[in-house]
């Protein structure tokens, strides 16, 4: 039996599904070196709880009301650089784990991962490491050998991926500009880059692709 680390790891959960939070809380409560210090049901609530908290690891759902996981990731990486973020998603890693790692995430787990994987990921990132599943490593190696396995959105930057998903969700360029505090022209430039990199032709194709690949819900 492997002994648990002696240091207590302080965790905050951000997920809009109460059932998911309950399951995560149970895993944390049953693991001696893990301590839950807060939970939030949406991005805005999370942002009110982070200031002043001594947080080691944030378990962050991608799709939440208010601030999305993409937006929270940007804020956390900028304002709370010592917090290690593990992304939780219903989407498989190949969909957009790469973009989150680029944006500063320390780990990415699907919500059907085994409890042992979650605990291992938390401990790994709390120690300053990066948690990457064996399946994701194999996928990345395969994509290096065979470019045909690469997804259309794989080469998007974190910001381009964020705007890609916002367009896919039906937001106009003006709405995106307001949310991200960017100029409409700047957002338009991002859109042009996105279309060029993905070879998609218009917003409708972006939406269709995003839904098909479970990048949005």
- What CA–CA distance (Å, rounded) separates 54 from 56? 7
pLDDT tens digits along 10-69: 999 999 999 999 999 999 999 999 999 999 998 889 999 999 889 999 999 987 777 777
- What CA–CA distance (Å, rounded) separates 176 from 166? 7
- What CA–CA distance (Å, rounded) separates 114 from 18? 18
- Angle value at C-alpha 39, between 34 and 44, nearest 5 degrees: 140
Q: Which domains does the chain carry?
A: 9-140 (3.40.50.2300), 158-212 (1.10.10.10)
Average pLDDT over residues 202-216: 86
pLDDT tens digits along 160-171: 888 998 999 899
pLDDT tens digits along 83-125: 999 998 877 656 667 778 878 889 988 888 899 999 999 999 9
pLDDT at 1: 36
pTM of the model: 0.71
pLDDT at 23: 94
- What CA–CA distance (Å, rounded) separates 164 from 166? 6
Q: In the structure, how many helices (H) and strands (E) does the chain have?
A: 10, 5
pLDDT at 14: 94
């Amino acid at each position: 039996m492997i002994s648990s680390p002696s240091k207590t790891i302080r965790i905050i959960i951000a997920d809009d599904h109460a059932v998911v939070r309950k399951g995560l809380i149970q895993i944390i409560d049953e693991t001696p070196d893990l301590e839950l210090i807060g939970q939030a049901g949406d991005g805005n609530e999370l942002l009110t709880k982070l200031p002043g908290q001594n947080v080691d690891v944030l378990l962050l759902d991608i799709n939440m009301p208010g601030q999305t996981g993409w937006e929270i990731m940007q804020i956390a990486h900028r304002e709370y650089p010592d917090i290690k973020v593990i992304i939780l998603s219903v989407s498989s890693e190949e969909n957009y784990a790469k973009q989150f790692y680029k944006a500063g995430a320390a780990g990415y787990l699907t919500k059907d991962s085994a409890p042992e994987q979650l605990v291992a990921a938390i401990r790994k990132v709390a120690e300053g490491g990066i948690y990457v599943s064996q399946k994701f490593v194999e996928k990345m190696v395969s994509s290096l050998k065979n470019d045909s396995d690469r997804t259309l959105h794989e080469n998007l930057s974190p910001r381009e991926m964020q705007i890609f998903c916002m367009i896919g969700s039906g937001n106009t360029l003006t709405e995106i500009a307001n949310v991200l505090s960017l100029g409409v022209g700047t957002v338009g430039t991002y859109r042009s880059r996105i279309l060029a990199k993905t070879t998609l032709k218009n917003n409708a194709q972006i939406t269709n692709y995003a839904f098909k690949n479970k990048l949005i819900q």
